[in-house]
Amino acid sequence: MQGTQRIYLDNSAATAVDSRVLEAMEPYWNADFGNAGGLHTEGRIASETLANAHASLARSIDAHPDEIVFTSGGTESNNMAVLGAVRALLRDGTKAEEIHVITTAVEHSSITDCFHILERDGVSVTYLQVDEDGFVKKQELQDALRPETVLASFIYVNNEIGTIEHIKELTSLVHKQNSNHGVEYPLVHTDASQAPAWLHVNTQSLGVDLLTLDSQKLYGPKGVGCLYVRDKTLLEPIVYGGGQEFGLRPGTVPIPHVVGFAKALELVEEERDSYVLGIAAIRNRFIDRLAEEMPEAMINGPLGDERTAGNINVSFFDVDGDQLVIELDEKGIAASTASACDVTREGGSRVVQALGKYTDRKVGTVRFSMGRHTTQEEMDTVFTALKKTVTWLQNNAKA
């Protein structure tokens, strides 16, 4: 689509940084550039700025500033939550075989890989299956809970299929379990990286003990995120070498990044209501057209309010998903097949496979993740290109 503006529909992977966020960050590159650990004026300015960022993030998610631990992004936050919680118990003398943890089959790889590591090291792991829309089956969760359970981790908004999990209900179920490890357990963690751009995240309402956020998913800079931690004594650091971030995350905190992250979250909190319904209407029109004009298309994830407004995930038989994305890219449309962190996978999206709908035939999947500025005109253009491309690929497959 040379000569025309590209249509970017991979906002679940990364969003463009808001110009107002860039403006907020600018002074901290080379004017107020001090290290927050310094006792001099420059250090005090950095320290005050860091404290303000903690306070801003905390206000946005109804937490206390001391409960916000800045990290390099969602992946590190997820690792800190899962590995840190288990290592704290190991540190205090609990044996690996006395520990049980729970997660789901549709988590981001930065969660799934951590649970694989724990399993390798002797921890008992339950991987819950989900229904056809990607929701945890509550009875299966209830059946999985044991006195040895110390942690359960559920993704809040699925990064591939847009499912908004019933985190509050799952948390309540987990917290009712009596634990061999003390009244603090079991803990509940949620990866909420995909949530803030589309819905309000409130730690008190959700009831979780640990919660991950990622700046690049909400129009902030890459390379920064945070972990909400209700009780820091229940985590062991996974990186060592300093006392920053309450002793849980050593290393010089990048002041420009945390300022940008805090500003980005403030902005989506202020402006979310102004765009969510409009984007949801565009999504619904696209899905309706798929049903009418491409009846072979199969929507992955729930419809309506249980799906984030900006997510469309659709599969087709007799289509290679990677090839579909490449052909759309040639037409000026940026989409994806799955999580950007799973680009080396084989066999298609494991999240889509976990839905259990496509057991007899291979399918190709494409994810369109819209942003707050996506227009109806753009999505009409995308639909036309998708229809032509899928038809062409299917005809070639049959030839």
- CATH class name, domain 7-15+275-398: alpha beta
Where does the pLDDT of residue 292 fall: very low under 50, low under 70, confident under 90, or very high at 90 and above? very high
Rounded distance, CA 329 to CA 318, Å?
Answer: 19
341 and 10 Cβ atoms separated by less than 8 Å? no
Q: Given a cut of 70, is residue 345 above it in pLDDT?
A: no
The predicted-structure confidence for 149-192, as pLDDT tens digits, reads as follows: 999 999 999 999 999 999 999 999 999 999 999 999 999 999 99
Which residues make up the CATH 3.90.1150.10 domain(s) of the chain?
7-15+275-398
Q: Residue 349 corresponds to which tokens in the numbers above?
A: 């999206």
- Cα angle 339, 342, 346; round to 5: 120
pLDDT at 398 (0 to 100): 72
Cα–Cα distances (Å) from 164 to 35, 108, 178, 346, in that order, read 39, 14, 27, 26
Q: Which amino acid is at 278?
A: G
Across the chain, mean pLDDT equals 94
- CATH class name, domain 19-266: alpha beta
295 and 332 Cβ atoms separated by less than 8 Å? no
pLDDT at 29 (0 to 100): 96
Among 276, 341, 383, 394, the active-site one is: 341
Is 226 one of the annotated active-site residues of the chain?
Answer: no
Which residues make up the CATH 3.40.640.10 domain(s) of the chain?
19-266
The predicted-structure confidence for 358-372, as pLDDT tens digits, reads as follows: 876 778 999 999 999
- Are β-strands 100-104 and 68-71 bridged in parallel, bridged antiparallel, or unpaired? unpaired
